[in-house]
Structure 1
Amino acid sequence: MDVPVLETERLIMRSFRAEDFGPMSAFFADERSFYYGGPLSAGDAWRRLAAYAGHWVLNGYGEWALEEKESGAFVGFCGPWKPGDMPEPEIAWALLPEHYGKGFAFEAARRALRHVYETLNWPTVMSLIEPGNAASIRLAERLGATAERKMEIYGREAVVYRHLPPDLLKEQFA
């Protein structure tokens, strides 16, 4: 499966590569990865990287590795995600801590939303966010998403944030 390469003003959204393992492993070893299923051992971080890459093969879509255009640095990951045990697809995002506060997640998530609506033709999409993840809640709300309901997934409480439908999203970011 060829993963489409997308771009934003400052990011290249590309397929995962073996050299992304170092920064992914460091991210998942850090306590700040808690909201993304971490901390994880290096072996589990490798399996997560492989899952992100394999998701494209199994589903025809998935998360992209985010590369900063200026430096070439791996800064995080973002995109549509739906493991087999998830009730519906979501747009997920995560940044390495050294890249927090730069607007990269907003840029990538907004581009990912356009992709799921314009290319995959989805009528709706959500993001699952744990109640304590204030930064992701702010981002979801900045994207126009609203809290829809609470649910338990993977033994943890999450809130379903419903993103704007395609027509309203276009209006918001026109």
Structure 2
Amino acid sequence: MDPKYLAPRVLETDRLVLRPFTLADHADYARITSDPDVMRYMGTGIAYTPDIAWRAIASVLGHWELLGYGLWAVTLKETGALIGHAGFLDPYGWPGFELAYMIDKPYWGQGYAQEATRAALKVARETLRKERIISLVRPANEPSRKLALRLGAVQEGTVSLMGSDADLFVHRV
């Protein structure tokens, strides 16, 4: 592992490769994040334009540079196709060290989010040694609520996040 980074830059699961974003990911990431259904519960709930998607990738890469960990690009091992992101958010002013993910709509319901977040959660616990790991879930986002519970999280309350409420789930260590 590069000593500059606290987390591995690449993770592999049975079906996925989680790796750093590259400039070549921009077109696919812009397509994914332009879908209102995908973005409904992300951030402010607004779909991204291509310029905002580019800035989001730059922000993800900056998070890695500043903190040594962050979100990985989630790709299919078999084809290399970009299907979303998963990993950690912990920017200045955030409610805590967050396990987060986003998966492209054609891949919903196939267990990819769970596979990616389980791998990331293992890194958070075993490599980063985080004692408090949260997930922030919009109240209407039932699939993410269910995933947080399947990962062993318990709801601890509600926080105001980017102009609306989010349920705060804490992953037991």
Q: TM-score, normalised by structure 1?
A: 0.91
Q: How far apart, CA to CA, are the structure 2 residues paired with 1:53 and 1:100? A: 25
Please say if 1:69 is aligned against 2:77. Answer: yes
Residue deviations 1:110-151, cap 9 Å, x none? Answer: 110100111011112000010011111111111111111011
Q: How far apart, CA to CA, are the structure 2 residues paired with 1:124 and 1:112? A: 14
Q: 2:40 — aligned with what?
A: 34
Relative CO higher for 1 or 2, CA cutoff 8 Å, sep ≥ 6? 2
Q: How far apart, CA to CA, are the structure 1 residues paired with 2:27 and 2:117? A: 23
Q: 2:20 — aligned with what?
A: 15
Contact 2:137 2:167 in 1 (8 A): yes
Question: Which structure shows the bigger proportion of residues in helix conformation?
Answer: 1
Residue deviations 1:77-131, cap 9 Å, x none? Answer: 0001111120211000000111111111101101101001110111120000100
Q: 2:153 — aligned with what?
A: 145
Alignment of 1:85-124 (within 5 A): 85-124=93-132
Q: How far apart, CA to CA, are the structure 2 residues paired with 1:21 and 1:4? A: 19
Give the stretch that moved more between structures: 37-46 or 119-128. Answer: 37-46
Contact 2:97 2:132 in 1 (8 A): no
The SS at the match of 1:158 is strand
Q: How far apart, CA to CA, are the structure 2 residues paired with 1:145 and 1:87? A: 16
Query: How many residue pairs end up in the alignment?
Result: 165
Q: TM-score, normalised by structure 2?
A: 0.91
Q: Where do 4+ consecutive residues of structure 1 move more than 3 Å?
A: none
1:157 equivalent among 137, 161, 165: 165
Q: How far apart, CA to CA, are the structure 2 residues paired with 1:17 and 1:104? A: 21
5+ long unaligned stretches in structure 2:
none
One-letter identity of the residue aligned with 2:139: P
